[in-house]
Amino acid sequence: MRQAVRAAVLAFGLIGAVARADPVPAPEPVQVTVLGTYHFGNPGLDINNIKADSVLTPRRQQELARVAKALAAFRPTHVMVERESSAPDLAVADYARFDDTMLAKVPNEIVQIGYRTARLAGLRTVHGIDEQSGEGEPDYFPYDQLQATAARLGKAADLAALNEPVAAWSKQFEAAQATSSVGQLLIRMNDMRGLSGSMDHYYGALRIGDANTQSGADLNAMWYLRNAKIFAKLMLVAKPGDRVLVVYGGGHLFWLRHFARLTPGYRDVDVMSYLKKAG
């Protein structure tokens, strides 16, 4: 009987020791700060295209240097940009050729902010995580189908009304260039309390469709899919404890921050505290 009691006490003691053992620490989160940008080079590929003034002037170059210095204070271990890469590690090849001559000639936010900041951070690689439709892949932004459905259902005016706030905001942004630094313009673009934090245009489009053709829903689903694939590529590179700066078109800001905020093991870091140092 005594042996049974001793055995029970011993077993309880072992269980208690296991219960008191320190838990295995969770991996450090990947910290992600997303910078939404306007397109410096005016490629004209969006529905509402902001006409950017030249960022190659001495004034804008000084402003961009301040932006890069402020972003470098985030201490990124990776910089990721809106460019596709077929490399196994998603490296962007032309970053290896980046120098002051490229800065003076290429009016592109990937070069002017992404590469410039990566150099300040001492990074040897910039990663391209963009996702575009290839052969046999879906159209990630079937806006033409949305327009066709709206016209067929007599909802063209509804679609135009959804676009009006975006078009008005774009015009205001263009006008603000006359009196604002690049840092101040980026603060305007990354303010989630304004247009950047709204999904009115996308979710309002859900009503454009009928029982057989849900073009508004299709647009939302495909846009979500593209951004999900972009973030999934980020996850292929990032490791616990990394600090990732993402430089991307402002239209992606909502979803990329959504994934950084809600994906297990990742943490969304608001870029505004850094931008305000450059503004």
In a domain, 165, yes or no: yes
Q: Tally the domains of the chain.
A: 1
In a domain, 230, yes or no: yes
Q: How many angstroms separate the CA atoms of 86 and 132, rounded?
A: 12
pLDDT of residue 50: 82
pLDDT of residue 260: 98
Radius of gyration, CA atoms only, the chain: 24
In a domain, 23, yes or no: no
pLDDT of residue 10: 47
Give per-residue pLDDT as tens, 18-37: 556 667 788 899 999 999 99
Q: How many angstroms separate the CA atoms of 166 and 173, rounded?
A: 10
User: How confident is the prediction for the chain on average, in pLDDT?
Assistant: 91
Burial class (CB in 10 A: 0-12, 13-18, 19+), 166: middle
Helix, strand, or coil (residue 165) = helix
pLDDT of residue 8: 47
Dihedral-angle region of residue 265 (phi above 0 means left; psi in -120 to 50 means alpha; beta otherwise): left
The candidate with the shortest Cα–Cα distance to 172, out of 158, 157, 159, 185, is: 185
3-state helix, strand, coil in the chain (%, to 5): 55, 10, 35
In a domain, 127, yes or no: yes
Comparing 35-44, 229-238, 262-271, the range with the smallest average pLDDT is 35-44
C-alpha 246: how far from its chain's center?
6
Distances (CA, A) of 202 to 113, 144, 171, 178, 224: 28, 14, 20, 30, 10
| Residue 245, strand partner residues | 33, 79
Give per-residue pLDDT as tens, 81-104: 999 999 999 999 999 999 999 999
pLDDT of residue 47: 63
In a domain, 2, yes or no: no
Phi and psi torsions of 45, nearest 5°: -105, -5
How many separate helices (H) and strands (E) can be counted in the chain?
Answer: 12, 5
- Buried (b) or exposed (e) across 218-245, using 16+ Cβ within 10 A? bbbebbeebbebbbebbbebbeeebbbb
Residue-number span of the structural domain to which 60 is assigned: 30-278
Comparing 22-26, 113-117, 156-160, the range with the smallest average pLDDT is 22-26
Tell the residue number behind the tokens 């049974």, with chain if given. 4
In a domain, 18, yes or no: no
In a domain, 22, yes or no: no
In a domain, 168, yes or no: yes
Is pLDDT of 113 > 70? yes
